[in-house]
Amino acid sequence: MATSASATLSKAVKQQYMELSQGDKVQAMYIWIDGTGEGLRCKTRTLDFEPKSIEDLPEWNFDGSSTYQCEGSNSDMYLIPAAMFRDPFRKDPNKLVLCEVLKYNRKPAETNLRITCSKVMAMVEDQHPWFGMEQEYTILGTDGHPFGWPSNGFPGPQGPYYCGVGADKAYGRDIVEAHYRACLYAGVDICGTNAEVMPAQWEFQVGPCEGINMGDHLWVARFILHRVCEDFGVVASFDPKPITGNWNGAGCHTNFSTKEMREEGGLKAIEESIEKLGKRHSYHIRSYDPKGGLDNARRLTGHHETSNINEFSAGVANRGASIRIPRNVGQEKKGYFEDRRPSANCDPYSVTEALIRTCLLNEEGDEPTDY
């Protein structure tokens, strides 16, 4: 398995420089989603003060022709600060700044799905929608080979790896621990982590987050994971089916509730939402991966703890269903439900917006309503 050349550079030498005083200056790393809808980009600017809120941060720009976002003849695009976090790599007072992207004419870039998600969330803020997303990923070498797998073969079959302990079961825990602590430092609402069913596959959970915060926190958690993996010389893949054959794919199961669902008798509202989702399956499949369902088609086969992409199903404690109602929710008659269809490389803004449109705004049909 290949690792990056950068990982061989001396971290001790780098640390000598990172310990130097930065005076009264602050480094702000601006982060944005590129034209693929999956990749993240970043660059840093110096501020003369420590920003206390998003309003303190200036707009910026970048060359969109180098990020698959426009042509070179008209390449300036705008970065609009949207959410701010502490920087776990440079540490306080430095910041991570998640941005929306606008085109030269100040209209949203094609992959800026945050702007419509934010509008939709504002329409239902009185219902206090909560989300929790379970982000699965696979650790790969720079050659695309799964971390820790034999170079000319496969590890033992699935079974001992889920939540496993031991060098022969848990592949790459150092990365997981580093990422977890970095997210906590940054202020990301990370709430857990575990080894997954396929060796070198892991999961972290973010939430509960209300409204637009879900997408903001998950994207920043992904960015932090990419940066941690960069330091270790490996790659974090969100491909929904990184290894073909009898191996689990990678999803981003999304847990959803409203104030009504969380209160006594909320199971009725949960069941009503599931009924609405069943009538709009194709719209959600298109919204749940960046290629309109093509990526998920490799994962949602009806095997390996997934439902079939062409069929909608729901059940209590059923991990082979599109929608799972947790056992304790069925017993307590209130709580939340889990949509198991989103792919690991989904855009959380698209996923959470789709749930709101169908479950709370009562939209029907295969196309979203333009408000």
Cβ-in-10-Å burial (0-12, 13-18, 19+) of 50 comes to middle
Both structure tokens of 231: 């330091």
Report how far residue 139's alpha carbon sits from residue 236's, in angstroms, rounded to the nearest whole number.
5
Q: Where in the chain is the domain with CATH 3.10.20.70?
A: 5-111
Name the class of domain 5-111: alpha beta
Which residues, in sequence order, are CB contacts of 370 under 8 Å at separation 6+? none
Per-residue pLDDT of the chain (371 residues; tens, 9 = 90+): 899 999 999 999 999 999 999 999 999 999 999 999 999 999 999 999 999 999 999 999 999 999 999 876 778 999 999 999 999 999 999 999 999 999 999 999 999 999 999 999 999 999 999 999 999 999 999 999 999 999 988 999 999 999 999 999 999 999 999 999 999 999 999 999 999 999 999 999 999 999 999 999 999 999 999 999 999 999 999 999 999 999 999 999 999 999 999 999 999 999 999 999 999 999 999 999 999 999 999 999 999 889 999 999 999 988 889 999 999 999 999 999 999 999 999 999 999 999 999 999 999 999 999 99
Report how far residue 68's alpha carbon sits from residue 282's, in angstroms, rounded to the nearest whole number.
28
Q: How far apart are the first and last CA of the chain?
A: 50
Which residues, in sequence order, are CB contacts of 292 under 8 Å at separation 6+? 286
Report how far residue 66's alpha carbon sits from residue 254's, in angstroms, rounded to the nearest whole number.
32
Select from 237, 256, 257, 240 the least CA-distant residue to 248.
Answer: 240
Residue-level pLDDT at 319: 81
- Residue 11 Cα distances to 17, 25, 56, 265, angstroms: 10, 23, 33, 55
Residue-level pLDDT at 237: 98
Residue-level pLDDT at 153: 87
Select from 344, 367, 339, 362 the least CA-distant residue to 282.
Answer: 367
Residue-level pLDDT at 61: 96
For the sheet with 60-63, list strands across it. 40-47, 26-33, 95-102, 76-86, 60-63
Q: Where in the chain is the domain with CATH 3.30.590.10?
A: 121-360
- Peptide bond preceding 208 in cis form (omega within 30 of 0): yes
- The CATH-assigned architecture of domain 121-360 is 2-Layer Sandwich (3.30)
Note if the pTM is more than 0.95: yes
- For residues 261 and 269, the answer to whether their CB atoms sit within 8 Å is yes
CA 49 to chain centre: 30
Q: Which amino acid is at 176?
A: V
- Tell me which residue has tokens 């042509």: 71
Report how far residue 41's alpha carbon sits from residue 67's, in angstroms, rounded to the nearest whole number.
8
Residue-level pLDDT at 1: 82
Cβ burial 74-91 (10 Å sphere, 16+ → b, else e): ebebbbbbbbbbbbbbbe
Residue-level pLDDT at 366: 92
Residue-level pLDDT at 318: 84
